[in-house]
Amino acid sequence: MVRIHLTYVLFLFLALGAVSSFAQDEDVSPRVDYKVNKMKTALNLTDAQVNAIKPIIKEYLVKSEAVLQGSAEAGIMDHVSVKSTLKELKDSEYQKLGKILNEDQMKKWIDKENLMASLNPDGGENTVDEGPSLTASGANFKF
């Protein structure tokens, strides 16, 4: 009887994990498509390159979102640790993209991401909030 309950609990745990993973895939898919389309246009990518970079972009977005979500749920934000982890994820993404994109495409994309991050530090996916900022609607405190 206990074995049946343990099997049932394990099944539910795995099923919920699969649903959660599916939901996470659904949440990130529009962002993956947006970024890949942006890269395709900016870098003049071939269809083969587009198909090859999609899983790399998806992996980065899912992992970085998990890092930020985990930090937010912990309640205490260690900015240095989060920033370091996100940098490691971005470096890994660039390393993988470097195997698909040519040198000029990589340089152009890195420059474009750096420019976007510097122009939009509060909204860029490649940045970590450094604290409060002033916006048109007032102070924007982030914890």
20-52: per-residue pLDDT in tens? 443 455 589 999 999 999 999 999 999 999 999
Report whether pLDDT(14) > 80. no
Q: What is the pTM of this model?
A: 0.65
Gap between the Cα atoms of 45 and 51, Å rounded: 10
> What is the per-residue pLDDT across 89-127, written as a single tens digit (0 to 9) for each?
999 999 999 999 999 999 999 999 988 888 876 654 544
In this prediction, residue 117 carries a pLDDT of 83
In this prediction, residue 72 carries a pLDDT of 76
In this prediction, residue 31 carries a pLDDT of 94
